[in-house]
Amino acid sequence: MPAPTTPTPAVVDLLGLVALGELLAFDRMAADARLAPDLRRRAALSEMAAAEIGNYRRLADRLAALDVPPDDAMAPYVGPLQAYHDSTEPKDWAEAVTKAYVGDAITDDFLREIAGTLDGPDRQLVLDVLHESRYADFAAAEIRVAIEADPRVANRLSMWARRLVGEALSQAGRVAAADRGPLTALIAQGEQVDVQGLFRRLTAAHTARMAAVGLNN
């Protein structure tokens, strides 16, 4: 199979989407860290937030190298991504770590799938901005602690996780609509990514992750 060639507009759209995702994830995680029950946990979620901004910088630098102002590349996605976060504001620490756990992993799964459609440096960049597994481990441990302290929490967090996924899917639809064409085309391009299959794989991985921390899908 020949190396796929990627039209630059699609790469720009994708980098813009991911960059904005990192910037807003930073913002919300930094705010959610205030929900932490102690300074140690607050620092841990703050560090997860800080990692996002490091990734943002790499993506913004790449956009600049492609002669695209990062703000321009991100602009089409501000509405849907902001709406996702506005509609999923955690109201306690358990919800905050569940949001980080669910959101980071689905984002990573999506990026791993999409990376295959990109060429050399951009593929590597997208793989490089995946979240470090120690952050997911921390979030998973916190969810388990919360459930252990009060088993009824499992039900509430399961519902919360379903809401997170529902809101994410709803905003993903808006992202596709906001997209100027190339990004959706990139995701849907023939045998590179099969959208039905992508959706099935993301869902299966999410279900397995929920089970791993004692939540049900």
The residues binding a copy of itself (CB under 8 A) are 20, 23, 26-27, 30-31, 33-34, 38-40, 42-43, 46-47, 49-50, 53-54, 56-57, 60, 69-71, 74-75, 78
- In angstroms, the CA 39 to CA 51 distance is 18
The first and second tokens of residue 146, run together, are 């919360």
**DSSP letter, residue 33:** G
To the nearest whole angstrom, how small is the minimum distance from the Cβ of residue 191 to a copy of itself?
A: 35
The first and second tokens of residue 136, run together, are 């997911």
Task: Return the closest-CA partner of residue 174 out of 56, 111, 82.
Answer: 82
Comparing CB distances to a copy of itself, the nearer of 38 and 191 is 38
Comparing CB distances to a copy of itself, the nearer of 74 and 147 is 74
- In angstroms, the CA 144 to CA 170 distance is 28
| Contacts (Cβ under 8 Å, ≥6 apart) of 15 | 59, 62, 63, 66, 73, 122, 125
To the nearest whole angstrom, how small is the minimum distance from the Cβ of residue 55 to a copy of itself?
A: 10
CB 1, CB 117: distance < 8 Å: no
Comparing CB distances to a copy of itself, the nearer of 46 and 203 is 46
CB 125, CB 62: distance < 8 Å: yes
Q: How far is CA 157 from the centre of its chain?
A: 18
Comparing CB distances to a copy of itself, the nearer of 24 and 213 is 24
CB 125, CB 19: distance < 8 Å: no
Comparing CB distances to a copy of itself, the nearer of 25 and 183 is 25
To the nearest whole angstrom, how small is the minimum distance from the Cβ of residue 57 to a copy of itself?
A: 6
Task: Return the closest-CA partner of residue 157 out of 89, 98, 79, 74.
Answer: 98
| Contacts (Cβ under 8 Å, ≥6 apart) of 110 | 198, 202
Comparing CB distances to a copy of itself, the nearer of 52 and 109 is 52
Comparing CB distances to a copy of itself, the nearer of 97 and 161 is 97
